[in-house]
Structure formats: C-alpha cells, structure tokens
Amino acid sequence: MWSAMAEGDRPLRADAERNRRRLLDAARVLFSERGLEVGVAEIAQRAKVGRGTLFRNFATKEDLIAAVVVDRMADASARGRELLEGEDPTEALFEFLSDLVGRQQLDRALIQAVADEFLANPEIRAANDELVAVLDELLLHAQDAGGVRRDVGALDVLMLFKGVCEAMRSFQHLDPNVAERHLDLVRSALAPREHEQPLRGRIPTLDDLEPARAR
C-alpha cells in the first residue's frame, strides 16, 4: 500500500520539485546577471515553466527572492559540511570563509531585498541558524586542532566576515585580491597567541541576538 502510494506520488512530486528547482536556478542566474529588477515572467520563461507554475510555487516575487536566499544559504551550509570532512580543520574554516566571501556579490543584494522580514521568515531563519551551526562546528574543529584562538565564537567570526565583505565593497577598485588580503588579516586576528590581552566582552551567542530578532 505504502509502496503503491509512493509510486503513484513520485512522478508528480519529482516533477513539482524539478520545476521549483528550475525556477530557483533561473532566478539566481538572472538576479546575478542583471540584478533584482528582472521580472518574474522572464524568470519563468528561462526556467521553461508556465506562469501558473511560477505562481503556484511563489505567490509573489518577494516569496521567490526569499526562497533563493534560503537556497543559497543551504548551498553554503552544504559546502561547509563537505569541508568538515576535510583533513585540515583550520584550512577548512578559512576555506569556508573564503567561499562565503565569494558568494557575497549576489547574496548581498538578495539579503538586502529581504532584510525587513529576514529573521521573521521562519525558513530564512532556519537556514541562517544552520549556517551559523556549520560555522560553529568548523570553528570548534579548528580550535581543537590548535589553529584558532579559544576565546572567540562563531558570531565573532561572522563579525570579522562582515568586515571583509564591507571592505571588499569599499575597496574593490583597489585590487581584486583585496578580499584575500583581508582574509589573511582575519586569519591573523584568529590565530592563537601566547601572552595576549583577552578580548573585551564575552563570546556572543545566537541567544544574544534574540532581542534583535524579536523586533
């Protein structure tokens, strides 16, 4: 019985899943190439699905953008999980950060577009929490391997990461490698050191963000 139902459902679900995937991919590519003003009709056309299918999947363009954000975050988390399997935990952490920086050019516009509902949207929030959790694991592994100082948490690393992204935007005309140079400085900031003053404040956690999230 279960088997019969599953067989009956599978083609339909697989089809629906494929259409959704195509729409997300088309949206990502078009947004990346030409910005968020690309119309949904063109996205449906490129995805080779009808407008009815588009609207069944994403009632508004905002829904589509939010889904692309969730998809991009899930993709980054998956990359982080792959890196967790690598041999050198410290390299894995910095490769993850470098990968995140590379994604920013598109992601920034997307995330700005959903900024108002960012943490109020449960799917974005879950994808964001998963990304922080992956970063947390990569960081712990790197700390256990002695490659990163003990007195920092994932949100400290994210803070530094946001700095790299901002510097990249401000100084991108300076040198295409400005992000790499800044990531090297971040790496220095995070390197374990003897005889160092402790950082002011304490290690921030996701719970500390709750007041901001509740706004």
16 makes contact with its own copies (CB under 8 A): no
Stretch that binds its own copies, among 43-51, 62-70, 86-94, 177-185 (CB under 8 A): 177-185
109 makes contact with its own copies (CB under 8 A): no
178 makes contact with its own copies (CB under 8 A): yes
Instruction: State the minimum distance, in angstroms, from the CB of residue 192 to its own copies.
Output: 10
Q: What angle do CA 77, 132, 19 make, to 5 degrees?
A: 35
| CB nearer to its own copies: pick between 122 and 198 | 198
Q: Which of 101, 34, 23 has the alpha carbon at shortest distance from 67?
A: 23
| CB nearer to its own copies: pick between 64 and 152 | 152
DSSP string covering 160-215 = HHHHHHHHHHHSTTT-TTHHHHHHHHHHHHHS--SS-PPPSS----GGGGHHHHH-
6 makes contact with its own copies (CB under 8 A): no
Instruction: State the minimum distance, in angstroms, from the CB of residue 71 to its own copies.
Output: 22
Do 30 and 46 meet the contact criterion of CB atoms below 8 Å apart?
yes
Gap between the Cα atoms of 125 and 116, Å rounded: 12
154 makes contact with its own copies (CB under 8 A): no
